């Protein structure tokens, strides 16, 4: 599976090129599409940008440049051409499912960071198939980046850990098992293999930490054994 940024949104496509999922900003006007990104510009102190697999991350960014900008940024989700079902998980992630309730993708927990590197208060709200990220801009240094990121597709599920969790995982077997066990809220079966993954995952977590990146655990949706990977950090 790959993602492709188009003027219709960020599309998750299969090996035959058929669109499985579409994530679209709720915004007026057509985007400029180039270099793996679709950019929606406004005159209200913000832009919204979708980046696809060729750009390295499948995500929707709100780039906020003014205190006069709105605090809410919305994206709609469709699966197989129909409005998606969205549901919040305990860790703040959003599960995206088709109309029959079959999981299709996962949106990483909300985060927003200002120009000084300060993380801002932010949260998601769900209304139908629309996911809205609300950002508290009080005292922020601009520009501010807010980023709902797709974490999962139909071929693989990737559980992405934060920088703090990656540091913990790199420290010891116990550290990795602790953060791996916490991931069961997103993908329950991972709990059964945390011990098996520990050795390789500590090495990968250390490599990720040393290169400014983060640890991920990738699970094949058709029985492939989980394995550790290095991913770009979302927080």
In this structure, the answer to whether residues 175 and 108 fall within a common structural domain is no
pLDDT at 11: 83
Q: How many domains would you assign to the chain?
A: 2
In this structure, the answer to whether residues 187 and 203 fall within a common structural domain is yes
In this structure, the answer to whether residues 193 and 115 fall within a common structural domain is no
pLDDT, tens digit (0-9, with 9 covering 90-100), for 54-94: 655 677 889 999 999 999 999 999 998 999 999 998 778 88
Residues 141-165, mean pLDDT to the nearest whole number: 75
In this structure, the answer to whether residues 120 and 176 fall within a common structural domain is no
CA distances in angstroms from 220 to 77, 157, 158, listed in the order given: 23, 6, 9
Query: Token pair of 115, please?
Result: 């120009």
In this structure, the answer to whether residues 127 and 176 fall within a common structural domain is no
In this structure, the answer to whether residues 7 and 104 fall within a common structural domain is yes
pLDDT, tens digit (0-9, with 9 covering 90-100), for 153-164: 444 567 778 888
pLDDT at 191: 64
Residues 6+ apart with CB under 8 A from 94: 86, 87, 88, 106, 107, 124, 126, 131, 148
Residues 95-123, mean pLDDT to the nearest whole number: 86
pLDDT confidence tier of residue 173, bands split at 50, 70 and 90: confident
pLDDT, tens digit (0-9, with 9 covering 90-100), for 189-216: 566 678 878 888 898 899 889 999 988 8
Residue 55 CB neighbours (<10 A): 15
pLDDT, tens digit (0-9, with 9 covering 90-100), for 7-65: 888 887 766 566 688 999 999 888 999 888 899 999 999 999 988 766 556 778 899 99
In this structure, the answer to whether residues 200 and 137 fall within a common structural domain is no
Where among 152, 173, 199 does a domain terminate? 152
Phi, psi of 30 (to 5 degrees): -95, 150
In this structure, the answer to whether residues 104 and 219 fall within a common structural domain is no
Partners of 63 in beta bridges: 47, 145
pLDDT confidence tier of residue 224, bands split at 50, 70 and 90: low
Residue 172 has pLDDT above 70, yes or no: yes
Structural domain boundaries, residue 35: 2-152
In this structure, the answer to whether residues 180 and 212 fall within a common structural domain is yes
Among 67-76, 117-126, 129-138, 146-155, the minimum mean pLDDT is found in 146-155
Identify the residue with better confidence: 182 or 62.
Answer: 62
Residue 225 CB neighbours (<10 A): 10
Residues 213-229, mean pLDDT to the nearest whole number: 71
In this structure, the answer to whether residues 208 and 136 fall within a common structural domain is no
| Ranges of H-type helices in 78-185 | 163-171, 173-182
Where among 105, 133, 152 does a domain terminate? 152
Residue 2 has pLDDT above 90, yes or no: no
Residues 6+ apart with CB under 8 A from 189: 219
In this structure, the answer to whether residues 80 and 169 fall within a common structural domain is no
Where among 152, 175, 210 does a domain terminate? 152
In this structure, the answer to whether residues 162 and 144 fall within a common structural domain is no
pLDDT confidence tier of residue 228, bands split at 50, 70 and 90: confident
Separation of CA 170 from chain center: 22
pLDDT confidence tier of residue 222, bands split at 50, 70 and 90: very low
């Amino acid at each position: 599976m790959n993602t492709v940024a188009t003027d219709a949104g960020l599309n998750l496509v299969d090996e035959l090129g058929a669109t499985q999922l579409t994530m679209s900003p709720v915004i007026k006007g057509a985007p400029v599409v180039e270099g793996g990104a679709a950019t929606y510009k406004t005159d209200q102190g913000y832009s919204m940008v979708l980046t696809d697999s060729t750009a390295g991350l499948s995500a929707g960014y709100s780039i906020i440049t003014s205190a006069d900008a709105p605090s809410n940024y919305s994206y709609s989700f469709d699966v197989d051409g129909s409005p998606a079902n969205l549901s919040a998980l305990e860790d703040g992630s959003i599960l995206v499912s088709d109309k029959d309730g079959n999981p299709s993708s996962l949106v990483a927990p909300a985060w927003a960071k200002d120009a000084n590197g300060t993380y801002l208060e932010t949260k998601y709200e769900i209304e139908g198939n629309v996911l809205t990220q609300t950002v508290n801009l009080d005292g922020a240094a601009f520009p501010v980046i807010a980023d709902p990121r797709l974490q999962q597709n139909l071929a693989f599920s990737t559980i992405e850990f934060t920088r703090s969790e990656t540091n913990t995982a790199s420290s010891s077997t116990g550290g990795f098992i602790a953060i791996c066990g916490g991931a069961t809220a997103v993908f329950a079966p991972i709990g059964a293999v945390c011990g098996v993954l520990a050795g390789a995952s500590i090495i990968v977590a250390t490599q990720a930490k040393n290169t400014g990146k983060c640890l991920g655990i990738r699970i094949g949706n058709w029985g492939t054994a989980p394995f550790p990977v290095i991913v770009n950090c979302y927080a």
